Protein backbone atom coordinates (compact mmCIF):
# COMPACT_ATOMS: atom_id res chain seq x y z
CA UNK A 1 0.00 0.00 0.00
CA UNK A 2 1.32 3.45 -0.90
CA UNK A 3 2.26 5.77 1.96
CA UNK A 4 0.66 8.65 0.07
CA UNK A 5 -2.95 9.54 0.76
CA UNK A 6 -5.44 9.33 -2.09
CA UNK A 7 -7.56 12.41 -2.79
CA UNK A 8 -10.70 10.39 -2.04
CA UNK A 9 -9.22 9.56 1.36
CA UNK A 10 -8.13 13.17 1.86
CA UNK A 11 -11.66 14.40 1.28
CA UNK A 12 -13.05 11.98 3.86
CA UNK A 13 -10.32 12.88 6.34
CA UNK A 14 -10.94 16.57 5.70
CA UNK A 15 -14.64 16.13 6.50
CA UNK A 16 -13.90 14.05 9.60
CA UNK A 17 -11.36 16.62 10.82
CA UNK A 18 -13.59 19.62 10.34
CA UNK A 19 -12.47 20.67 6.87
CA UNK A 20 -15.92 20.74 5.31
CA UNK A 21 -17.77 21.98 8.38
CA UNK A 22 -17.17 24.63 10.98
CA UNK A 23 -15.01 23.36 13.83
CA UNK A 24 -13.64 24.85 17.02
CA UNK A 25 -10.00 24.09 17.76
CA UNK A 26 -10.51 23.97 21.52
CA UNK A 27 -12.93 21.07 21.09
CA UNK A 28 -10.57 19.02 18.94
CA UNK A 29 -7.83 16.64 20.02
CA UNK A 30 -6.28 16.77 16.55
CA UNK A 31 -3.78 19.48 15.59
CA UNK A 32 -5.40 22.81 14.74
CA UNK A 33 -3.34 25.09 12.54
CA UNK A 34 -4.32 28.43 10.95
CA UNK A 35 -4.64 28.46 7.15
CA UNK A 36 -3.60 31.87 5.85
CA UNK A 37 -3.72 33.20 2.29
CA UNK A 38 -0.84 35.59 1.60
CA UNK A 39 -1.63 37.90 -1.32
CA UNK A 40 0.96 39.80 -3.35
CA UNK A 41 0.32 42.68 -5.69
CA UNK A 42 1.87 42.28 -9.13
CA UNK A 43 2.30 46.03 -9.25
CA UNK A 44 3.81 46.38 -12.71
CA UNK A 45 0.60 44.98 -14.20
CA UNK A 46 -1.76 46.40 -11.56
CA UNK A 47 -0.57 49.93 -12.25
CA UNK A 48 -2.78 49.71 -15.36
CA UNK A 49 -5.65 47.58 -14.06
CA UNK A 50 -6.27 48.94 -10.54
CA UNK A 51 -7.91 52.07 -11.99
CA UNK A 52 -10.68 49.70 -13.10
CA UNK A 53 -10.90 48.11 -9.65
CA UNK A 54 -9.18 44.94 -10.85
CA UNK A 55 -5.74 43.50 -10.37
CA UNK A 56 -3.47 40.55 -10.95
CA UNK A 57 -2.37 38.98 -7.69
CA UNK A 58 -0.01 36.22 -6.67
CA UNK A 59 -1.03 34.11 -3.69
CA UNK A 60 0.46 31.47 -1.47
CA UNK A 61 -0.99 29.41 1.37
CA UNK A 62 0.71 29.61 4.74
CA UNK A 63 0.43 26.54 6.99
CA UNK A 64 2.83 25.38 9.73
CA UNK A 65 5.24 28.25 9.08
CA UNK A 66 5.65 27.52 5.37
CA UNK A 67 4.11 29.30 2.40
CA UNK A 68 3.22 27.06 -0.55
CA UNK A 69 2.67 28.52 -4.01
CA UNK A 70 2.63 27.49 -7.67
CA UNK A 71 4.68 28.85 -10.53
CA UNK A 72 5.61 27.93 -14.04
CA UNK A 73 8.66 26.39 -15.60
CA UNK A 74 9.29 24.28 -18.71
CA UNK A 75 9.47 20.85 -17.07
CA UNK A 76 6.67 18.29 -16.51
CA UNK A 77 7.32 18.12 -12.76
CA UNK A 78 5.74 19.92 -9.84
CA UNK A 79 5.46 23.67 -10.07
CA UNK A 80 4.73 23.95 -6.35
CA UNK A 81 7.39 25.60 -4.24
CA UNK A 82 7.68 26.99 -0.75
CA UNK A 83 9.05 30.27 0.54
CA UNK A 84 9.35 32.07 3.83
CA UNK A 85 5.85 33.44 4.58
CA UNK A 86 5.14 36.97 3.30
CA UNK A 87 8.58 37.21 1.69
CA UNK A 88 7.63 37.03 -1.98
CA UNK A 89 9.36 40.22 -3.01
CA UNK A 90 12.73 39.02 -1.72
CA UNK A 91 12.36 35.43 -2.90
CA UNK A 92 10.33 35.79 -6.11
CA UNK A 93 11.30 39.20 -7.43
CA UNK A 94 10.67 42.88 -6.95
CA UNK A 95 7.37 42.82 -8.87
CA UNK A 96 5.82 40.72 -6.06
CA UNK A 97 4.83 43.23 -3.39
CA UNK A 98 3.15 41.80 -0.29
CA UNK A 99 -0.42 43.12 0.01
CA UNK A 100 -2.14 41.27 2.87
CA UNK A 101 -2.68 38.07 4.82
CA UNK A 102 -6.18 36.61 5.10
CA UNK A 103 -7.06 34.01 7.72
CA UNK A 104 -9.30 31.55 5.90
CA UNK A 105 -9.82 28.98 8.63
CA UNK A 106 -8.07 26.19 10.46
CA UNK A 107 -6.95 22.72 9.54
CA UNK A 108 -6.77 19.62 11.64
CA UNK A 109 -4.27 17.97 9.31
CA UNK A 110 -0.84 17.39 10.79
CA UNK A 111 2.26 19.01 9.29
CA UNK A 112 3.13 15.66 7.65
CA UNK A 113 -0.39 15.32 6.20
CA UNK A 114 -0.11 18.82 4.71
CA UNK A 115 3.23 17.87 3.13
CA UNK A 116 1.61 14.78 1.59
CA UNK A 117 -1.29 16.82 0.27
CA UNK A 118 1.12 19.32 -1.31
CA UNK A 119 3.09 16.43 -2.85
CA UNK A 120 -0.09 15.04 -4.39
CA UNK A 121 -1.14 18.45 -5.68
CA UNK A 122 2.26 18.63 -7.36
CA UNK A 123 1.06 15.95 -9.78
CA UNK A 124 -1.97 18.10 -10.68
CA UNK A 125 0.08 21.30 -10.89
CA UNK A 126 3.20 20.61 -12.96
CA UNK A 127 5.26 23.67 -13.83
CA UNK A 128 4.71 23.26 -17.57
CA UNK A 129 0.92 23.59 -17.08
CA UNK A 130 1.14 27.11 -15.62
CA UNK A 131 -0.81 29.84 -17.40
CA UNK A 132 -1.13 33.38 -16.06
CA UNK A 133 -4.91 33.49 -16.40
CA UNK A 134 -6.30 29.95 -16.66
CA UNK A 135 -4.01 27.90 -14.36
CA UNK A 136 -2.09 30.10 -11.98
CA UNK A 137 -0.94 30.35 -8.37
CA UNK A 138 -4.44 31.36 -7.26
CA UNK A 139 -5.95 28.19 -8.74
CA UNK A 140 -3.41 26.18 -6.74
CA UNK A 141 -4.09 28.20 -3.57
CA UNK A 142 -7.81 27.61 -4.01
CA UNK A 143 -7.29 23.85 -4.36
CA UNK A 144 -5.03 23.57 -1.32
CA UNK A 145 -7.27 25.71 0.88
CA UNK A 146 -10.35 23.72 -0.13
CA UNK A 147 -8.67 20.43 0.80
CA UNK A 148 -7.18 21.51 4.12
CA UNK A 149 -10.01 23.61 5.54
CA UNK A 150 -13.00 23.37 3.18
CA UNK A 151 -12.98 27.07 2.28
CA UNK A 152 -12.51 29.16 -0.86
CA UNK A 153 -10.11 32.00 -1.47
CA UNK A 154 -11.76 35.43 -1.87
CA UNK A 155 -13.09 35.95 -5.41
CA UNK A 156 -11.28 39.25 -5.94
CA UNK A 157 -7.88 37.52 -5.79
CA UNK A 158 -8.36 35.86 -9.18
CA UNK A 159 -11.17 38.01 -10.62
CA UNK A 160 -9.14 39.73 -13.37
CA UNK A 161 -7.58 36.45 -14.48
CA UNK A 162 -11.06 34.92 -14.70
CA UNK A 163 -12.39 37.91 -16.63
CA UNK A 164 -9.51 37.71 -19.10
CA UNK A 165 -10.23 34.01 -19.78
CA UNK A 166 -13.88 34.89 -20.46
CA UNK A 167 -13.01 37.71 -22.87
CA UNK A 168 -10.10 36.44 -25.02
CA UNK A 169 -9.34 39.77 -26.67
CA UNK A 170 -8.41 41.15 -23.22
CA UNK A 171 -5.63 38.59 -22.96
CA UNK A 172 -4.27 39.68 -26.33
CA UNK A 173 -4.37 43.33 -25.21
CA UNK A 174 -2.72 42.73 -21.83
CA UNK A 175 -0.20 40.12 -23.01
CA UNK A 176 0.63 40.67 -26.68
CA UNK A 177 2.61 37.86 -28.30
CA UNK A 178 6.28 38.62 -28.75
What are the residue numbers of the active site?
58, 137
The bridge status of strand 33-42 relative to strand 80-83 is: unpaired
SS (H, E, C) 15-29: HHCCCCCCCCHHHCC
CA distance 29 to 51: 48
N-terminal to C-terminal alpha carbon distance within the chain: 49
139: nearest Cα among 75, 61, 86 = 61
CA distance 21 to 18: 5
Amino acid sequence: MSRRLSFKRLRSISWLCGGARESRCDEMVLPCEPVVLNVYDLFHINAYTMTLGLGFFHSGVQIYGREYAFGGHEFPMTGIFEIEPRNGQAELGEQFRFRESILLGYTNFSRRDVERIVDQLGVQFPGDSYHLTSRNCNHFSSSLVHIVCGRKIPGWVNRLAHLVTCVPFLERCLFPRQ
